[in-house]
A and B are shown apart, each in its own frame.
Chain A
Amino acid sequence: MVVNLEEKGLVRIITVEEDGKEISKLIKDVIKEIKKNVNIPGFRKGHIPDSVVRAKYKDAIKEEVAKRFINEKFQKIIEEYNLTPVSPEISFGDVELNGDKLKLTLSFEVAPEFELKDYKGLEVEIAKREVKPEDIEEAINRLRNQYAKYEPADKKVENGDKIKIHYYIETDKGETEEDNFEVVVGENQLRQEIEKEILGKKKGDEVEVRDVPLFNEKGEEFGKATVKVKIEEVYKKVLPEFNDEFVKEINLGENVDEAKKKIEENLKKSIELAKNTEIENKITEKLLNENDFELPQSLLKAELNYLIQEYAKQLESVGVKPSQDMLMAAVPSLEEQAKKNVKLMFIVNKIAELENIKVDDEEINKEIEEMAKTYNATPEQVREYLEKEGLINNIIYGILKKKVYEFLKENAKVKEVEVKEAKEENIEETEKEAKEKKTEGKKKGRKSKKETKTEEEKSEEQTKKKKRGRKSKKKEEEDKS
């Protein structure tokens, strides 16, 4: 066997030449298999001479022989030359088969070799965050708003009030319609023209709005109508007192003090989480910035494809059919992301290797069990699926990454820096992040993160639809009649 190795950056091109018994045996095997299955006119099935098969199926035989040869020898070759291919696929170059002489070229990419910059004691600066009394106060207010009740009141209509109205519509075509319903003012549930008139009115008042344009589903105007609205009741928004009873009702402990403590704890937790993510993000950034090396193109491509697919799925789940243009527009940013992901993977693996961080079977099993719980399947099913899709390595990498990050965090110097930004914003952010984290089930890679995102988007979409629905309700009904 003659092997020739060529290096071009990360690409390794191997030329292999082999002849003799081994090849002729391979050829024979392949011909035998072909013979069983083909039908050539002029010959009875199974009685086709080898020479005819060989002449007729030259290319197929060549490929098959090369494939089998590589399957057999590849491991040996890369061991001999101490190569670790990272490309998802190994591409065949030209294959030549003459008699029993086989010559073929293989190309694949290997992992880049690089010196890891200092990763212990990374200095990380993060924004200082702490729970302040105001924050607790705010959290309480939010809770009160959430559990607000509406009580009938004798007052003028203001934004935020709930009103019960009776409406009567007459279109310019003479169609009429009337109904009762309750609505909260100032939340875009009514047509703006009408809402403007209602503000400041009292119980029992009547409002008449003329020439309200009507729109059909497509947003085209198709007529005008006169709307009469009678306010039948005005409800005031009543915020519940923050007292022991209220606290008990919403399951926050026995009394106010206990509830406050709980709220504070929750806030602290979410801040802790936010800190954690910030540290992780900063560490990632540092690692990516400090280490620079060439990345294998094939891996980048694979990652990019994966990201594009995910992106398309995301769009679909929101109800948008991804078009080619949309995907193309997203490619540059996704490419950047792919580069980061691949780079990070190499760095993480390197650190794991240096620090002897390993993932054992038990941890994988645990992860799979957890996944099984979220997907409502048995661990065996999940495992089977993962193995079928070849995702098991992703899981292992996920666990490894987590462990490496834990190690890095332990060894990092974290500095808290006062940030002058408005506190409110920060808190909102932390809460959002915390929420995301919770739904994520604390870990898991990009997959679940994306899922939560899409869920959020979905619910947004739904509320939008609802609003639209309310607005167009009247018109729709008119359309029908």
Chain B
Amino acid sequence: MSKTPYDILIRPVLTEKAVKLNEKEGKLVFEVPLDANKIEIRKAVEEIFKDKKVKVKSVRTMIVKPKPKRVGFGPLGHKKRWKKAIVRIEAEEPINIAEII
């Protein structure tokens, strides 16, 4: 089964930093599967925002290192590592990151 665009873009990252990137540089930040590649991500973004005629200029990805986290007492555990994709787009009107779900 082929991956749908929604399989690739797990969720938008909604943080202060992401909003700043969104507002100032017209970038969108997503969480993506660890095995997703940049081409897939580009296609997925263009597919999802196709009614807004979004052209993706560039995709950058990174793997976010797991943060140490201790749950109550006991040994130190950690959060999952995950892949973050920063997509630079060109659109007719800016896309507000807070409004996409």
Contacts and interface: CB of A to CB of B under 8 A. Distances in A.
B64 interface: no
Interface stretch (A24-32, A48-56, A138-146, A471-479): A48-56
A51 B18 CA distance: 12
A42 B96 contact: no
Interface string B1-27: 000000000000111101100010000
A375 interface: no
Contacts of A43: 15-16
A47 B17 CA distance: 11
A49 B19 contact: yes
Nearest to B20: A49
Contacts of A55: 96, 98-99
Contacts of B99: 55
B16 A44 contact: yes
Contacts of A40: 14
A45 to B, nearest CB: 11
Interface residues of B, number: 10
Contacts of A44: 16
Contacts, number: 27
A55 to B, nearest CB: 4
Nearest to B99: A55
B16 A51 contact: no
Q: DSSP class of B's interface residues: helix, strand, loop or mixed? A: helix
A48 B23 CA distance: 13
A49 B23 contact: yes
A252 B61 CA distance: 106
A369 B15 CA distance: 62
A48 B18 CA distance: 12
B15 A51 contact: no
Q: How big is chain A's contact interface, by range?
A: 10 to 19
A478 to B, nearest CB: 65
Interface in A1-52: 40, 42-44, 47-49, 51-52
A52 B100 CA distance: 11
Contacts of A52: 14, 19, 98
Nearest to B14: A42
Contacts of A54: 98
A27 to B, nearest CB: 15
B16 A42 contact: yes
B14 A51 contact: no
Most buried by B among A40, A44, A55: A55
Contacts of B18: 42
A64 B13 CA distance: 28
B98 A56 contact: yes
Nearest to B98: A55
B16 A47 contact: yes
Interface string A377-396: 00000000000000000000
Nearest to A44: B16
A287 B19 CA distance: 69
A366 to B, nearest CB: 61
A44 B17 CA distance: 11
Interface in A315-343: none
Contacts of B23: 49, 51
Contacts of B96: 51, 55
Interface string B64-101: 00000000000000000000000000000000101100
A43 B19 CA distance: 10
Nearest to A42: B15
A52 B19 CA distance: 8
Interface of A: 40, 42-44, 47-49, 51-52, 54-56
11 contacts: A42-B13, A42-B18, A43-B15, A43-B16, A47-B16, A49-B16, A49-B23, A51-B96, A52-B14, A54-B98, A55-B98
The 4 closest A-B pairs by CB, nearest first: A55-B98, A42-B15, A52-B98, A55-B99
Interface of B: 13-16, 18-19, 23, 96, 98-99
Given A49-B16, A49-B98, A55-B98, 15 more contacts: A40-B14, A42-B13, A42-B16, A42-B18, A43-B15, A47-B16, A49-B23, A51-B19, A51-B96, A51-B98, A52-B14, A52-B19, A52-B98, A54-B98, A55-B99
